[in-house]
């Protein structure tokens, strides 16, 4: 049995936990909340630490220091994070759902998320290049999030 099926999130080693990340980059995008409905909308604007080419944080170890509002995923905080992408492995495992075939843990290929078109690789702009008032124009529905 793969570890993500028979190991509780709270019992995973740090390496197991980190390997759940598929590298899609969707969690590093700026989100907007509709004041009236509470709906969360994802943009194509990424955090200043996000590297669009590698689809990874450029300073993962110090992200909370460099970006204080960066949310660190933990088994304890996971249930509160309703904005996590529908395709997110952390969310899927928590909900008892299977990982997608393109997830690197399933495919054995670290680039499978990109090959499947499920990442934001090279499709985003840094937050410093977009004025806050223009963020609403940058809302995008990413692949796999259509039913969110």
Digit-coded pLDDT (tens) for 33-56:
999 998 999 999 999 999 999 999
Q: Is residue 68 in some structural domain?
A: yes
Q: Which residues contact 92 (CB under 8 A, 6 or more apart)?
A: 98, 99, 100
Q: Order the strands of the 125-126 sheet from edge to edge.
A: 29-33, 40-46, 125-126
**Average of per-residue pLDDT across 113-133:** 96
- Total domain count for the chain? 1
In 20-141, alpha helices (H)? 63-66, 89-94, 104-107, 112-115
Q: Is residue 26 in some structural domain?
A: yes
Q: Is residue 101 in some structural domain?
A: yes
Query: 148 falls in which pLDDT band (50, 70, 90)?
Result: very low
Q: Is residue 14 in some structural domain?
A: yes
In the chain, % of residues over pLDDT 70: 99
Cα dihedral sign, 118-119-123-127: positive
- Structural domain boundaries, residue 40: 3-138
Cα dihedral sign, 23-27-116-18: positive
Q: Is residue 67 in some structural domain?
A: yes
Q: Is residue 144 in some structural domain?
A: no
């Amino acid at each position: 049995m793969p570890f993500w099926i028979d190991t509780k999130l709270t019992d995973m080693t740090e390496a197991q936990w980190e390997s759940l990340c598929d590298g899609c980059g969707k969690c590093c995008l700026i989100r907007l909340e509709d004041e009236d409905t509470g709906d969360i909308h994802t943009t194509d604007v990424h955090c200043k630490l996000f590297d669009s080419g590698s689809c990874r944080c450029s300073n993962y170890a110090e992200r909370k220091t460099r970006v204080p509002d960066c949310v660190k995923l933990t088994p304890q905080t996971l249930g509160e994070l309703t904005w996590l992408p529908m395709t997110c492995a952390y969310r899927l495992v928590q909900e008892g759902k299977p990982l997608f075939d393109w997830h690197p843990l399933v495919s054995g290929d670290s680039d499978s998320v990109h090959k499947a078109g499920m990442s934001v690789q090279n499709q985003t702009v840094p937050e410093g290049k977009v004025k806050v008032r223009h963020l609403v124009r940058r809302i995008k529905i990413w692949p796999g999030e259509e039913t969110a």
